[in-house]
């Protein structure tokens, strides 16, 4: 059974038809939509700020989702994490205190830092490092260290990669329920 822990009386909430792997961890102020999955050894830590996850989101093996503590008295505004609908977070990716819009693929091992905004219909390539405060426009592929736009995304990649992976993870989770 997944490890689900409340923080300061706030426990994670899941929508309908969600799958949590037996060793997935969800902590604190996490609200997840419908048809989501959190896979083996993935950690979704809403202990220091909130995490909001849309519908049909998959958080793959070993991924870490976290935010930054809000301490306004000390001048630290903190960062929240928001994931839109139809988002795939690849194996071992780190997604920290940012805003990911709908229909986005974060590739395996990618790092997305605080205050990043990723527009819809976008791919962050495997191994990319999207540095703090970067605004990633809709409809493109970002890659490299630090990540930069390498090209606009085609309709084939939107349907053949972004949607295919999100749909596949919904199917995979049905095998384990």
Per-residue confidence at 72, pLDDT binned at 50, 70, 90? confident
Q: What is the pTM of this model?
A: 0.96
Q: Average pLDDT of 24-34?
A: 98
User: In residues, how long is the chain?
Assistant: 177
> Residue 20's pLDDT is what?
98
> Residue 158's pLDDT is what?
87
pLDDT digits (tens, 9 = 90+) for 3-28: 999 999 999 999 999 999 999 999 99
Mapping DSSP onto H, E and C, the string for the chain reads CCEEECECCECCEECCCCEECCCCEEEEEEEECCCCEECCCCEEEEEEEEEEECCCCEECCCCEEECECCEHHHCECCECEEECCCEEECCCCEEECCEECCCEEECCCCEECCCCEECCCEEECCCCEECCCCEECCCEEEECCCCEEEEECCHHHHHHHHHHHHHHHHHHHHHHC
d(CA 111, CA 2): 24
- The rounded percent of the chain whose pLDDT value lies above 70 is 100
CATH superfamily of 3-176: Hexapeptide repeat proteins (2.160.10.10)
| Residue 159 scores a pLDDT above 90 | no
- The rounded percent of the chain whose pLDDT value lies above 90 is 90
d(CA 171, CA 167): 6
**If you search the block for the tokens 């949607």, which residue do you land on?**
163
> Residue 13's pLDDT is what?
98
pLDDT digits (tens, 9 = 90+) for 82-119: 999 999 999 999 999 999 999 999 999 999 999 999 99
d(CA 27, CA 11): 7
């Amino acid at each position: 059974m997944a490890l689900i822990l409340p923080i300061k009386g706030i426990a994670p909430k899941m929508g309908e038809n969600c799958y949590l792997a037996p060793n997935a961890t969800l902590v604190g102020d996490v609200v997840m939509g419908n048809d989501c999955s959190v896979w083996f050894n993935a950690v979704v830590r809403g202990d220091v700020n909130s995490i909001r996850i849309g519908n049909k989101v998959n958080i793959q093996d070993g991924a870490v989702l976290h935010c930054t503590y809000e301490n306004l008295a000390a001048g630290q505004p903190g960062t929240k994490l928001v994931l839109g609908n139809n988002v795939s977070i690849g194996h071992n990716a780190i997604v920290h205190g940012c805003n990911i819009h709908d229909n986005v693929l974060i590739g395996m091992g990618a790092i997305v830092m605080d205050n990043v905004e990723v527009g819809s219909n976008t791919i962050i390539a495997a191994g990319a490092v999207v540095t703090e405060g970067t605004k990633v426009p809709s409809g493109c592929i970002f890659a490299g260290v630090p990540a930069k736009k390498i090209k606009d995304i085609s309709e084939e990649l939107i349907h053949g990669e972004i949607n295919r992976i999100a749909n596949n993870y919904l199917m995979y989770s049905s095998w384990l329920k």
